[in-house]
Amino acid sequence: MDSPAHYMEVALGEAQLAAERGEVPIGAVLVDAAGQIIAQNGNRTIELCDPGAHAEMLVLRQAGRLLGNYRLPGTTLYVTLEPCVMCAGALVHARVSHLVYGAIDPKAGGVVSLFQVGQDTRLNHLLAVEGGLLAEESAILLKDFFRQRRGGTVAK
């Protein structure tokens, strides 16, 4: 079993690939209880013309197809940015056990910043949440992407 930092580095790699495709650089990796990567992907909303093609959603879909089940208990999702409400809801429905994210999303965060979807006891599943793993690297990737899109310079 690899370290949490290793899985987040894989997610950062997926985020970088997303940026190279012109997508917002967010990457996700789903890991099973034994530490095996089940699925990994980055944002593809533009490429797929799909507002739901966030990295988290794509990874959950891939894992569901691979495992033959939409429920993914015992898994951990590593994602470079705090999930939005849509993605947080999907994590609850999929019964993902644990979420580890990098940077917070103060404008659209569905897990800690604006909403606490995974900790709402009115829902039928609670999600263990850890934030801040490689947060600076995740935030820099996003800031550089948007700065470059606005025509500014990229931080070194």
* Catalytic residue selected from 9, 23, 47, 56: 56
In single-letter form, the type of residue at position 106 comes to: P
CB 105 within 8 A of CB 134: no
Burial of 130-150, coded b for 16+ CB within 10 Å and e otherwise, reads ebebbbeebbbbbebbeeeee
Dmax (CA) of the chain: 46
- Per DSSP, the three-state class of 54 is coil
Please say if 14 is a catalytic residue: no
Looking at the annotation, which residues are catalytic?
56
